[in-house]
């Protein structure tokens, strides 16, 4: 375990030089919290990490507790911010799930696990590599960690340490002896710099797999109210099941097949009728606006002569012209109208004249 790193937020400086000089080889930068906060130092911290040849990583501070819909919204918001701030595709993006004023770990264990997996799945779908951060006690007692690492091997970022001032080397007596650990956070005062210190337990620099490359290159489009798409990416195809329990195989679908998603439940997706697939057999791209109208997304204009408008209703005066093929960040959805701006440039665009880019 030789690769050392720090995790930083707005409490740390934008310039990470002093951490790099002290030996940090990676930086995990707080990007967001909930669906309305972005770390004001995040962009500069990522740029500084890159300038010092530190591995760039990100995380969002969870406020979703055991709520899967909120987990999708928060993860979707963080993904959009990660892309906007330049976190490279294929980087690690962690869910920071701990007990705090905005997040409770005391919910049902199954619901907690389902919410976290929902967030990790959408992170993977976006082309990032998901991690789950929490304390060792929480991971052992409030989650089904085995289910997490079964779907996402070596994905745990675990905090386990005494609170005893400046620490320069990890104390192995506190190492979290549990399966699936990728990173160990072993102090909150690394080198006396008031920053969390971490050490990599696995090789964080491993290249992406062929399937991960497929995920990063596949960006299909759907209507604003469609749930998403599923693409079979197993060379031998995907097993077709009769229901969401995934216990009754009824057939096989070939590699490359694409299906519109009508339902999703605990690792299973429905491709219409009795067609159920395991998400492990393909790529799942979910439209965040179909799950939560307050989520963020990217839309692309597909019609000619499209204009923005300031009220989400038909027959409104056009404000700003949108060229066919142009893409825009969506901040929310009100029925079929997509919020993309303010009153000066026009707040809404008709969703029937756009598609959502997944």
Three-state DSSP class for 183? strand
Same structural domain, 64 and 127: yes
Q: Which of 7, 96, 196, 281 is catalytic?
A: 7
200, 233, 266 - which closes a domain = 200
Examine residue 211 and state whether it is found in any structural domain, yes or no.
Answer: no
pLDDT at 208: 40
Instruction: Kindly state whether residues 17 and 136 are assigned to the same domain.
Output: yes
Q: CATH number of the domain at 103, please.
A: 3.20.20.80
Cα–Cα dist 201/203, whole Å = 7
Q: For residue 112, tell me if it sits in a domain.
A: yes
For the beta carbon of residue 321, count every other beta carbon within 10 angstroms: 12
pLDDT of 216: 53
9 versus 204: the higher-pLDDT residue is 9
Residue-level pLDDT at 206: 60
The enclosing domain of 233 has a CATH number of 2.30.30
Mean pLDDT value of segment 299-321 = 93
Strand order of the β-sheet with 263-265 is 249-253, 238-241, 276-278, 268-270, 263-265
Domain identity same for 26 and 114: yes
As a whole-number percent, the residues of the chain with pLDDT over 90 amount to: 69
CB 83 within 8 A of CB 52: no
> Could you confirm whether 7 is annotated as catalytic?
yes
Q: Are strands 337-339 and 249-253 parallel, antiparallel or unpaired?
A: unpaired
pLDDT of residue 207: 39
Mean pLDDT score, 78-107: 93
* Residue 151, phi then psi, degrees to nearest 5: -85, -35
321-322 and 282-286: which strand pairing?
A: unpaired
* Nearest C-alpha neighbor of 57 from the set 81, 32, 29: 29
Tens of pLDDT, residue by residue over 24-79, are 999 999 999 999 999 999 999 999 998 888 999 999 999 999 999 999 999 999 99
Question: How many domains is the chain partitioned into structurally?
Answer: 3
- For residues 281 and 298, state if they share a domain: no
Q: Which of 235, 255, 286 is the last residue of a domain?
A: 286
Same domain, 258 and 300: no
What angle (nearest 5°) sits at the alpha carbon of residue 132, between those of residues 176 and 128? 135
pLDDT surpasses 80 at 209: no
Q: Which backbone phi and psi does 111 adopt, to 5 degrees?
A: -65, -40
Q: Which of 15, 74, 96, 98 is catalytic?
A: 98
pLDDT given for residue 295 in this prediction: 84
Model confidence band, residue 212 (pLDDT cutoffs 50, 70, 90): very low
For residue 301, what pLDDT is reported?
Answer: 95
Please state, in angstroms and rounded to a whole number, the distance separating the CA atoms of residues 92 and 212.
12
pLDDT tens, position by position, 243-291: 998 899 999 999 999 999 998 876 788 999 999 998 778 888 888 898 8
Residues 70 and 182 in one domain: yes
Q: What residue numbers bound the domain in which 222 lies?
A: 218-286
Instruction: Please report, rounded to a whole number, the percentage of residues in the chain having pLDDT higher than 70.
Output: 96
- Residue 211 falls in the annotated catalytic set: no
User: Is residue 93 in some structural domain?
Assistant: yes
Tens digit of pLDDT for each residue in 181-193?
999 999 999 989 9
């Amino acid at each position: 375990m030789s690769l050392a790193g720090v995790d930083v937020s707005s409490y740390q400086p934008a310039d990470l030089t002093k951490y790099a000089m002290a030996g940090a080889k990676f930086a995990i930068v707080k990007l967001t919290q909930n669906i309305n906060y972005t770390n004001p130092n995040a962009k500069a911290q990522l740029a500084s990490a890159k300038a010092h040849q530190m591995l760039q990583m990100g995380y969002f501070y969870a406020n979703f507790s055991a709520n899967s819909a909120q987990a999708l919204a928060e993860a979707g918001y963080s993904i959009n911010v990660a892309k906007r701030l330049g976190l490279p595709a294929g980087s690690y993006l962690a869910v920071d799930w701990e007990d705090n004023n905005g997040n409770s770990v005391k919910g049902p264990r199954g619901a907690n696990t389902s919410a976290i997996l929902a967030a990790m799945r959408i992170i993977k779908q976006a082309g990032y590599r998901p991690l789950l951060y929490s304390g060792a006690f929480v991971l052992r007692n409030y989650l089904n960690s085995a289910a997490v690492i079964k779907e996402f091997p070596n994905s745990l970022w675990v905090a386990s340490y005494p609170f005893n001032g400046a620490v320069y080397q990890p104390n192995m007596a506190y190492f979290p002896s549990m399966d699936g650990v990728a990173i160990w956070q072993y102090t909150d005062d690394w080198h006396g710099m008031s920053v969390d210190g971490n050490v990599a337990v696995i090789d964080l620099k491993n290249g992406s797999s062929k399937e991960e490359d497929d995920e990063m290159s596949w960006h299909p489009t759907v209507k604003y109210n469609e749930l998403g798409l599923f693409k079979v990416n197993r060379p031998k195809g995907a097993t077709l099941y009769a229901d969401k329990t995934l216990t009754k195989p009824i057939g096989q679908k070939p590699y490359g097949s694409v299906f519109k998603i009508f339902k999703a439940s605990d690792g299973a997706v429905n491709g219409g009728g009795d067609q159920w697939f395991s998400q492990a057999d393909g790529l799942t791209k979910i439209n965040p606006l179909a799950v939560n109208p307050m989520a963020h997304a990217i839309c692309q204009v597909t019609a000619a002569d499209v204009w923005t408008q300031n009220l989400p209703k038909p027959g409104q005066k056009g404000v700003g012209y949108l060229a066919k093929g142009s893409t825009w960040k969506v901040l929310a959805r009100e029925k079929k109208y997509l919020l993309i701006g303010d009153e000066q440039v026009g707040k809404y665009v008709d969703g029937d004249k756009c598609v959502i880019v997944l």
